[in-house]
Chain A
Amino acid sequence: MKPELNKHLQDLSQAIIQGLVDEAGPLAEKALTEELPPLQVIEQACVPAIEEVGRLWEAGDYFLPELIAGAEAMKAAMAVLQEALKSSGQSLKSAGRVVIGTVEGDIHDIGKNLVASMLRASGFEVIDLGADVKVEKFVEVAASEEADIIALSALLTTTMLNQKKVVELLVSRGLKDKFTVMVGGAPVTEKFAREIGADGYGESAVQAVSVARKLMARRGGNHD
Chain B
Amino acid sequence: MLDIKQLTEKQVFLLDGAMGTELFRAGLPPGHCPEAWNEERPEAVVGIHLSYFEAGSRAILTNSFGGNALKLAGYGLESRTYELNLKAAQLARSVCPEDGYVGGSIGPTGKFLRPVGDLTEDRMLKAFRPQIEGLADGGVDFLLIETQYDLKEALLALRAAREACTLPVFVTMTFNLTRRGYYTMMGVSPEAFIRAMEENAVEAFGANCTLGPAEMAGLIKILRTLSNRPLVAQANAGQPRVGPDNLTYYELGPEEYARHVPGLIEAGARVIGGCCGTSPEHIKKISEKIVGFFDRIK
Across the interface, do A60 and B178 meet the contact criterion of CB distance under 8 Å?
A: yes
CB neighbours of A164 from chain B (8 A) = 246
**In the complex where A64-B116, A160-B248, A187-B248 touch, is A106 in contact with B179 (Cβ < 8 A)?**
no
Shortest CB distance A105–B (Å): 3
Kindly state whether residue A148 has any CB partner on chain B within 8 Å: no
Shortest CB distance A180–B (Å): 22
**In the complex where A158-B24, A161-B246, A187-B240 touch, is A60 in contact with B183 (Cβ < 8 A)?**
yes
* Alpha-carbon distance between A63 and B20 when the two chains are bound, in angstroms: 28
Shortest CB distance B86–A (Å): 23
* Alpha-carbon distance between A120 and B30 when the two chains are bound, in angstroms: 30
* Alpha-carbon distance between A65 and B117 when the two chains are bound, in angstroms: 9
Kindly state whether residue A177 has any CB partner on chain B within 8 Å: no
* Alpha-carbon distance between A68 and B111 when the two chains are bound, in angstroms: 14
Across the interface, do B187 and A65 meet the contact criterion of CB distance under 8 Å?
A: yes
Interface size class of A (residues with CB under 8 A): 20 to 34
CB neighbours of A157 from chain B (8 A) = 21, 240, 248-250, 276-277
Residue interface mask B260-287, A partner, CB < 8 A = 1: 0000000000000000110000000000
Across the interface, do A63 and B183 meet the contact criterion of CB distance under 8 Å?
A: yes
**In the complex where A69-B115, A110-B110, A158-B24 touch, is A105 in contact with B29 (Cβ < 8 A)?**
yes
Across the interface, do B185 and A132 meet the contact criterion of CB distance under 8 Å?
A: no
Contact of A161 among B31, B74, B248, B250 (CB under 8 A): B248
Using CB atoms and an 8 Å cutoff, list the residues of chain B in contact with chain A. 20-21, 24, 29-31, 74-75, 110, 112, 115-116, 178-180, 183-187, 210, 239-240, 242, 246, 248-250, 276-277
Known: A64-B186, A69-B116, A158-B24. 11 other contacts (CB 8 A): A60-B178, A63-B186, A64-B187, A69-B115, A106-B31, A107-B31, A156-B30, A159-B30, A161-B242, A186-B210, A189-B240
| Pairs across A and B, CB under 8 Å, 16 listed | A60-B183, A65-B116, A69-B115, A105-B30, A106-B30, A106-B31, A107-B75, A109-B110, A110-B110, A132-B31, A157-B240, A157-B248, A158-B30, A160-B248, A189-B239, A192-B242
